[in-house]
Structure 1
Amino acid sequence: MLGLIRARKLATRDTTLYIVPDAGLGAWYTRAHMTAAARRFGAVVIHHHSCRYIEEYDSAIAAVTTVARDIATHVFLTDGMAEAFRRQYGDIAFRVVTNAGFVTAEAVRSSGPRLGGPIRIGHLSNLCADKGFFVAADTFDAVRAAGFDATLELAGPILEQAVQERIDALVAEHGEAVRYRGELAGQAKLDFYRNIELFVFPTAFKQEAAPLVIYEALAAGTAVIATDRGLIAEIVPEFGGAVCERDGPFAECVLTYLNSESWTEEARAGRAAAIKEWMRNQCAISTAQRESLISQLASRPGRG
C-alpha cells in the first residue's frame, strides 16, 4: 500500500507506471491500482509473469485490461503468451521480452569438452510435488531399471518432509549415484548446471510460465526435458531436449530421449555446443527486447 501511496504522489501525465499483476486474489488489488493509474499516469506497463489467468479466464485480470486498455502496454514472456492473452481478453498493445537475457553471461561462455561415463541427470527447484520432485525421482528409478548408467544430482530447498524421505530412499537404492547438494547460488549453481547433461523438470505448478531454471540449464549447454506447462514448449528447442505431455508418462518420455541420443564424449560435446549457440541467439534477442522496454519506460508517454 505504501508503494501505491508513493506512486500517487509522484504520478503525472508525463510518467509511466510499471506493474506486475498478481495471479491470485491479489489481482483485485491490481485492478484497484489500474483504476487509480488510469486517472493519474500517462501510461502503464503491465508485465505478465504467470500463465494461470491466461489458461483460465480471470474476471479481475479482465477488469485490469479494460480499465487500462487505452494507456497500457502489456509485456509478455513469449509470442505464444501474448497470443493466448489476447484470445482471452481482447486486443491490446503489447511487446514481448523473454527471460533469456538473464543468462547471457553463461550462454556466451565456451562449453568446453564433455566427460564420458554415466549420463548425469539433474533436477533443481523448490523440491516439492508441485515442481515435480517425486516424478523426477521415479524417473531416475526407471532410467536405472532400464539399464542406463546414470547419476542424479538434486538441488534446492526441501519444502516437504516427504521429499527428504524420498531422497533417503534414493540414496539407499542407488548409493553414490544420487547426491543432494542443498540450496545453491552463485558459482555453485553454475557448476551444478555445467556438470549435468540432462535437466529434468516435470513441473505441475499451475502458475508456471517461462521458468528461469530452464534457461539456466540451456545456457550451460545442458539438454532439458520438461512437462508441457505454461510456456515451456516455446523455450525448449527440439534439438535441445524434449517437452512431454502434461498428463503423460514422464519417465517414458525421458527413456525415449536417452535411447535416441548418442552418449559418446564427442556427441555430448557437440550437443552442448549446439544448445549454447542457440541460447546465445536467444539472449541477444532478449537483450534487445529489454533495452527497448527500458527506453519506453524512460520516455515520456506518447513520445517513445
Structure 2
Amino acid sequence: MTQHHADTSKITGESHRAIFVVAAMPPPVHGQSVMNLIVADSIRNYSPNNLTISNIAPSSSNILVYHLSRISRVTIASLRILFSPRRRISVYSVYESGFGFLYNLLILISARVRMADVFIHHHTSEHCKRHSKRFAVVNWMAGVHAKHIVLSDQMKSDLQDTYGTNLLIRVVNNGSCLSGIPKIDPNHKIFDGSISLGHLSNLTPEKGVADVLSIFSELRSRGCPVRLELAGPTADPSIEKAIAEFSALGDNYFRYWGPVFGERKADFLSKVDIFLFPSRYKYEAQPLVLLESMAYGAFCIAYEAGYIPELLSSTGFLACNREEIIDFLSSSALTPTYLIGESGRAIASSLQFRTEGRRQLELLIEDICNKAQGG
C-alpha cells in the first residue's frame, strides 16, 4: 500500500518562513514514521525551498549508539532552528514517550527562542489517558499557542480533560496514511473450508505475539480449522524458538513471513481472514496495521488498548483477554457467511477512515503552510 500525500495544490504563493520537520523517518517502518514522512512530503510538495527535514531516528538498536545518535541529531536540528536566517519559523515534531521528552524539550527551547509556531503530533496514548508530568513540562515549554495533532476525537477529549480545554488540538486519524482501498471481493476471504488467522507487528510479548500463538494452539486443540500467517521482526529468543516449533507444522497450517514491506506486505494481508491484535503495549494509540488489515477485508479482533475501540466501533471484535478471543473464534456463530459480511463492513470502515483522514491531513498541511506564508 503506497503512501498518500495531502493535496496542497490549492495552497499557493511563496513562503518567507522556514518550515522545520524534526521527526523520525523510515526506516524503521511503523505508523509514526510513515505519518512523519507523509507530513514532510506533503509540505515539500507545497514549499520545497523552505522545508528542512531533520531525521532524528536512531542509527542503531545498540543502547549507547541509539542515544548518542539521537542526541547528536536532535542537537543539530535544534541548532538549525536557532540559527535559521528566516525571521518566521514553523516547527513540526512528535511528542516522545518516556525519557524521549528530553529531546522534545531541546527542540522546543530553540523553537521558543525563535518565537516559532509549534506543531506537536501525538502518536501514543498513555499521557493522554493519565496525567504525565513529562508531557506537562513539554506542554508548558511549547506554549499556549502550540498546535497539538491527535489521532481521534476521544484522544482529543482525553488530552483536553487531562491538561485543559485551552489546548489547541487538531484531529488527523491514521487513515490518512492509506493511499487507497484495494479492490477486494469479500467472498474470496474464505477458502478451503479453513480460516486464516493473521498477526503483523514487532513480535514482542507486549504487542501480542505470545497470545496469538497461544490462541492458535488452543483453537487447533479444539479441532477448529484454522491456520496462522505471522509477520514482523523479532529479537526475542523465546519468540524465535516458538516460531521455529510452530513452523514444523508446515505451510498449510503455519507460515512465518518475517518482516514484510510493499508488495510482500500486501500479499500477506490479502491472505488473512481474521487479523489478531491482542496488544498490551502501554503506549498503543491507533495502530495503522489495523486500518491496513481492514482495507484488505480482514475481520479484526483486538484488546481494548489505547484508542483501538474507536477503530473497531462498527466492525470487528473487542476482547479483554485471550479466553474471550478463543471462545469467540470457536463459536458456531463464526460462519463463512458471517465473516463475509464482516469483511465488507471492514472495507467500508477503512474507506471512511481514509476519506476523513485525508481531509484532516489536508487541513493540517494548509494550516502549517498558511502560517508559513507569513500569517
Question: What's the TM-score, normalizing by structure 2?
Answer: 0.74
Other-structure match for 2:108: 34
- How far the C-alpha of 1:197 sits from its partner, in A, is 0.6
Other-structure match for 1:234: 310
Q: Percent identity?
A: 28
CA deviation digits over 1:78-129, x for unaligned, max 9?
1111111122211201110000121232x25343532331011011111121
Query: CA–CA distance in 1 between the matches of 2:208 and 2:281?
Result: 8
After TM superposition, the structure 1 = structure 2 runs for residues 154-233 of structure 1, keeping only pairs within 5 Å, are 154-172=230-248, 176-233=252-309
- How far the C-alpha of 1:213 sits from its partner, in A, is 1.1
Query: CA–CA distance in 1 between the matches of 2:85 and 2:330?
Result: 56
Aligned partners of 1:126 and 1:159 also within 8 Å: no
Residue 259 of structure 1 aligns to a residue whose secondary structure is coil
Other-structure match for 1:286: 357
Residue 133 of structure 1 pairs with residue 209 of structure 2: yes
Residue 252 of structure 1 pairs with residue 324 of structure 2: yes
Aligned partners of 1:17 and 1:41 also within 8 Å: no
Other-structure match for 1:113: 187
Query: CA–CA distance in 1 between the matches of 2:241 and 2:185?
Result: 35
Aligned partners of 2:78 and 2:110 also within 8 Å: no
Query: CA–CA distance in 2 between the matches of 1:283 and 1:272?
Result: 17
Per mean C-alpha deviation after superposition, the further-off stretch among 68-77 and 285-294 is 68-77
Other-structure match for 1:142: 218
Aligned partners of 1:138 and 1:251 also within 8 Å: no
- How far the C-alpha of 1:11 sits from its partner, in A, is 7.1
After TM superposition, the structure 1 = structure 2 runs for residues 1-40 of structure 1, keeping only pairs within 5 Å, are 1-10=75-84, 14-40=88-114
Residue 276 of structure 2 aligns to a residue whose secondary structure is strand
CA 119–112 in structure 1, closer or farther in 2 if over 3 Å, else same: closer
Query: CA–CA distance in 2 between the matches of 1:124 and 1:224?
Result: 12
Query: CA–CA distance in 2 between the matches of 1:56 and 1:98?
Result: 21
CA 164–68 in structure 1, closer or farther in 2 if over 3 Å, else same: closer
CA 104–129 in structure 1, closer or farther in 2 if over 3 Å, else same: same
Residue 126 of structure 1 aligns to a residue whose secondary structure is coil
Unaligned runs of 5+ in 2: 1-74
Query: CA–CA distance in 2 between the matches of 1:109 and 1:8?
Result: 48
Unaligned runs of 5+ in 1: none
- How far the C-alpha of 1:72 sits from its partner, in A, is 0.5
Query: CA–CA distance in 2 between the matches of 1:126 and 1:233?
Result: 21
Residue 179 of structure 2 aligns to a residue whose secondary structure is helix
Per mean C-alpha deviation after superposition, the further-off stretch among 25-34 and 165-174 is 165-174
Residue 298 of structure 1 pairs with residue 374 of structure 2: no
- How far the C-alpha of 1:244 sits from its partner, in A, is 1.4
Aligned partners of 1:112 and 1:269 also within 8 Å: yes
- How far the C-alpha of 1:172 sits from its partner, in A, is 4.2
Other-structure match for 1:94: 169
Residue 230 of structure 1 aligns to a residue whose secondary structure is coil
CA deviation digits over 1:247-292, x for unaligned, max 9?
xx3232243255264433x544333222111211110000000000
- How far the C-alpha of 1:298 sits from its partner, in A, is 0.6
Question: What's the TM-score, normalizing by structure 1?
Answer: 0.90
Residue 71 of structure 1 aligns to a residue whose secondary structure is coil
- How far the C-alpha of 1:76 sits from its partner, in A, is 0.2
CA 300–171 in structure 1, closer or farther in 2 if over 3 Å, else same: closer
Residue 130 of structure 1 aligns to a residue whose secondary structure is helix
Query: CA–CA distance in 2 between the matches of 1:54 and 1:11?
Result: 36
- How far the C-alpha of 1:33 sits from its partner, in A, is 2.6
Residue 139 of structure 1 aligns to a residue whose secondary structure is helix
Aligned partners of 1:221 and 1:275 also within 8 Å: yes
Residue 269 of structure 1 pairs with residue 340 of structure 2: yes
